[in-house]
Structure 1
């Protein structure tokens, strides 16, 4: 019997689930397909929200008093 991993945070918006997936992809601990499945997103979502994720990361790293770790 094959069991599927449930979506990790279905209450979050698609944008926020995509941001989480982008961090997961960066860490490379799971396969791309597993990350997409766990976050209930598509390749198109990655393309749509990657720019806002990059902007958010850049802004966060430039904010005084905010750790980049």
Structure 2
């Protein structure tokens, strides 16, 4: 068995980061609807709270010998 490590050989055509030419492209977009985003965040938060309570309730019930 040969335990001598092989030299690393680059297998992709990627350039080193310092050799790359970076370009910036501006994309004009509409302003986000803050009312919709706020509603979405509230709904997701309520959903997470409900899921946490359900998990906690199930684990408490299992500890007390209840099923379901």
- TM-score when scaled to structure 1? 0.28
- The structure with the greater share of residues assigned to helix is 1
Q: Which has the higher contact order (CA 8 A, sep 6+)?
A: 1
Please identify the structure whose Cα radius of gyration is greater: 2
- TM-score when scaled to structure 2? 0.29
